[in-house]
Structure 1
Amino acid sequence: MYVAVKGGETAIENAHRLLDQKRRGATEVPPLSLAQIAQQMPLAVARVMSEGSLYDRDLAALAIKQSAGDLLEAIFLLRAYRTTLSRYCVSRPLRTESMQVERRISATYKDLPGGQLLGPTFDYTHRLLDFTLQAEGEQPQALKQDNAQQTPADIDGAAVAQQTASLSGATRLDTNAQADAAIEEAGQDFPRVLGLLAQEGLMREETDSAQAVPDITREPLDFPSNRMQRLQALARGDEGFLLALGYSTQRGYGRNHPFAGEIRIGFTEVWLEPEELDFAVPAGDIEVTECEMVNQFVGSKDQPAQFTRGYGLAFGYNERKVMGMALVDRALRAAEYDEEITSPAQQEEFVLMHCDNVEAAGFVSHLKLPHYVDFQAELELIRKMRKRDAQAGLDQEQQETDAGQVPPQKEKRA
């Protein structure tokens, strides 16, 4: 039972004012601009866009600034704004094989058509604090070494951003030239790594569904759900929740032994199909991260042993999120492959009903709101129960005392 409580308006207004002060911090420190947040906190922006289900870097930066860096609050703000937007048309499926790749790696094959690109990554850093970043305007040591080999005219933000390491140690420009040559020779875009397995018949074939794609933002989830609904929910799901579930599958809760078949990050073009037109038009490029996990399937009496896949896709640079998403996606396909469902990551209702951090944070946070009437009712109930138990104890003692007393006349007869 929830009871509305009136009053405290002045206190609430003061709380808002104090929040503004807390967000601003010391006034002698220059405030953060949205451009600074968008450009210098790209991973935070990517997470807010992905879990907020809205691709807009400026609005994501605004949400991060307004929430004082609380990413869950920023996701809530962006999700709330999204509900006010109109839907004009539907986009075509993304062709990520034609992505302008910034990072592309595979843990299954060393030599790939198009090559492997490390791109920007924390994977090979030593996780040591770089104290040069404390100095205003000071460049990190890695950029200093890069700039020492360039002319002063070449040293600017754009040039530095393009200096991306590859597995061979060459610059990104050299690597891209080699990759373009390999792709041109192959006669296609960056081919999918899992396509190599499919050519040998070792990868379970994925077929397109003729069913209309449901929209979980307009239609509630129903169970059992289909994979289209699951992938939408996972794409909006909390990164930490998916990471923990994915980790659980690797520790034996789900019999999942994955390989990172391919992870790619880059820009891909979005095509829209307006209702008034009979053809699609390009709307621009968006940055996405895509992951395909390779998993073993022992086969059955109807199907030979083969590999299966888990899939993850998210806005922006969101590598850890899509890896967890791909692991959970494969775990949720246990019923499809007639596998025994034994772990939380394989139970779709448990996963899908608890992966949304906006719903989770909202329900947990509501405990901070006044529950005075509820608590008073339970307090009174506890008091009555204790009083009843105490009285029952006294009655029991009295009964035992009475049972232990022998009447005088009965004692004489004995």
Structure 2
Amino acid sequence: MYVAVKGGETAIANAHRLLADRRRGDRDLPAMTVAQIIQQLALAVDRVMAEASLHDRPLAALAIKQSRGDMIEAIFLLRAYRTTLPRFGYSNPVETADMLVERRVSATYKDLPGGQLLGPTFDYTHRLLDPSLLEDETVDGGVERSGAAEPVMRVSEILAQEGLIEPDGDMPEGHVRGDLTRDPPEFPMSRDLRLQALARGDEGFLLSLAYSTQRGYGRSHPFVGEIRIGEVEVEFDAAELGLSVSLGRIRVTECQMVNQFKGSSKAPPQFTRGYGLVFGQSERKAMAMSLVDRALRAEEFGEDIVAPAQDQEFVISHSDNVQATGFVEHLKLPHYVDFQAELDLVRRMRREHEARRSSNGEHKEAAE
């Protein structure tokens, strides 16, 4: 057990007051509002919502403000709040084919049905600091948002017309939908549970794993089949009413990665898929997720598991930044008793080591 520290409660209270003071910053400057964070730090809000598994912009923005911009701390705060919410049921699978598209790009076809929609992106900007942003800017009006009026064909549908890509997957009959937020993970995991874990996994960790697959640590020769950003409708199946009720629309990012597959005894040569779907505008996360998803399907395609990104237990067990934070940051909490035990052990081992050296020296002298 830990040794009590006198004055600990007072010190902690003072630390909380100091944290609140540092969070507010210079009182001569206006305080950052939650509304400003939602509007002007939208991509940060999207990441917090995605990795906390809770779609609520005001609460995600509040968590960012409370955490002073520490994204993992903000995710932790929002997840903790999520555990207090009642669960009424599960929504129906969203129909991303009916997405009101705001951005849609493909690296496989230049001219594709529905066209390429660049949307809001950093892809074509110069990575140079913009000094004009140092000053307050007043902009009259804004860019009117527009989306595709009709659903647009997927790239995977184009390949499917020639039978060149694996069909959409179906879960086995009688499969019970898993929920990582309710039940502890067990390995091996079905793909639906793996995708849940990846959707709430740390973006940086998944990005590194995705990068590793491209550098030869696993079989991967990917093409971005399609990235879509837009709004989809969320529906809830109200059994007592006998119909589905619309809960509203949310913005999501979807990525389908197309990968080569040379075929096997059971399947012909074709393209296979990796899939990513996350809240908000989170292209990097969706792309990394789709690359790692494909890597984790190695066993399904009879491929050798030779790289970390192909090992589902390694990936899933280490992708959660809240869990990782808990394990790493608990090391700064008091470990006085443990360390004293280790200290005594090392001192005893040192004494025994020196005694053996001394004994060996005496035997050597006697032999001479």
Identity %: 60
Deviation at 1:206?
A: 2.4
Q: Which amino acid aligns with 1:130?
A: D
Deviation at 1:136?
A: 1.3
Give the conservation status (yes or no) of the 8 Å contact 1:89–1:275. no
1:342 aligns with 2:306: yes
Per the alignment, residue 196 of structure 1 pairs with 158
The secondary structure found in structure 2 opposite 1:326 is: helix
The secondary structure found in structure 2 opposite 1:118 is: coil
Per the alignment, residue 135 of structure 1 pairs with 135
Per the alignment, residue 54 of structure 2 pairs with 54
The secondary structure found in structure 1 opposite 2:343 is: helix
Give the conservation status (yes or no) of the 8 Å contact 1:72–1:358. yes
Equivalent residue in structure 2 for 1:322, among 286, 297, 300: 286
The secondary structure found in structure 1 opposite 2:249 is: strand
Per the alignment, residue 3 of structure 1 pairs with 2
Deviation at 1:302?
A: 2.4
Deviation at 1:190?
A: 1.7
Q: What's the CA shift string for 1:227-265, capped at 9, x where partnerless?
A: 011000000000000000000000111120100000000
Between stretches 318-327 and 391-400, larger displacement belongs to 391-400
Query: Which of the pair has more CA radius of gyration?
Result: 1
Per the alignment, residue 70 of structure 1 pairs with 70
* In 2, Cα distance between equivalents of 1:275 and 1:340: 45
Counterparts of residues 79-228 of structure 1 (less than 5 Å): 79-137=79-137, 155-156=140-141, 160-162=142-144, 180=149, 183=150, 189-209=151-171, 210=173, 211-228=175-192
* In 2, Cα distance between equivalents of 1:378 and 1:192: 60
How much is the aligned-residue C-alpha RMSD, in angstroms? 1.3
Q: What's the CA shift string for 1:30-79, capped at 9, x where partnerless?
A: 10000000000000000000001000000000000000000000000000
* In 1, Cα distance between equivalents of 2:55 and 2:117: 25
1:332 aligns with 2:296: yes
TM-score norm. by structure 2 comes to 0.97
Q: What's the CA shift string for 1:176-207, capped at 9, x where partnerless?
A: 6xx64xx5xxxxx2221111101110011123
Equivalent residue in structure 1 for 2:263, among 270, 292, 299: 299
Q: Which amino acid aligns with 2:167?
A: E
Deviation at 1:90?
A: 1.5
Q: What's the CA shift string for 1:82-108, capped at 9, x where partnerless?
A: 000001122110001111111000000
Give the conservation status (yes or no) of the 8 Å contact 2:3–2:336. no
* In 2, Cα distance between equivalents of 1:311 and 1:161: 31
| Unpaired segments ≥5 residues, structure 1 | 140-154, 164-172, 184-188, 405-414
Per the alignment, residue 196 of structure 2 pairs with 232
Deviation at 1:6?
A: 4.9
Query: How many residues are matched?
Result: 365
